[in-house]
Amino acid sequence: MTTPRVWSVTSTTPTEGDARSIARTAVAERLAAGAEITGPAISVFRHLDELGEGEEWRVTLRTSAAMRDRLAARIAELHPWDSPEVTATPVEWCIDSYAEWIERSTAV
């Protein structure tokens, strides 16, 4: 089994502006090759042992295997919440030219 070259890293934010700021910073710092922002979405959650509901914006960033952990750490630094959702899913398959673009775009 081969190690995935491309990862999709996702977080949710309370505002579109927060999502844009994370996306812009991550791409400008070469931690991600690109980002997509969607929302708003309705979220239902438990926080501080209480039921909550609100709107969230999702930011999904594409990055290389080499940058995944650095990107996740940077999102946590930039995020307005103390315990933000930051998850990563490997892209099991993509065309080689796409993976190469991701790797070039996130090379230091």
Q: Where are the chain's structural domains?
A: 8-105
* CA angle, residues 105, 101, 78, in degrees to nearest 5: 35
Instruction: Answer whether 88's CB lies under 8 Å from 73's CB.
Output: no
pTM of the model as a whole: 0.93
Task: Give the pLDDT band (50/70/90) at residue 102.
Answer: very high
pLDDT of amino acid 65? 97
Q: What is the tens place of the pLDDT at every residue in 27-63?
A: 999 999 999 999 999 999 998 899 999 999 999 999 9
Task: Give the pLDDT band (50/70/90) at residue 108.
Answer: confident
Instruction: Answer whether 102's CB lies under 8 Å from 6's CB.
Output: yes
pLDDT of amino acid 1? 66
Q: What is the tens place of the pLDDT at every residue in 10-26?
A: 999 999 999 999 999 99
Q: What is the tens place of the pLDDT at every residue in 80-93?
A: 999 999 999 999 99
Peptide bond into 40 cis (omega under 30): yes
What CATH number does domain 8-105 carry, 3.30.70.520, 1.10.3720.10, 3.30.70.120, 3.40.50.300?
3.30.70.120
Integer Cα distance of 84 and 12 in angstroms: 7
pLDDT of amino acid 43? 95
pLDDT of amino acid 33? 98
Integer Cα distance of 92 and 7 in angstroms: 9
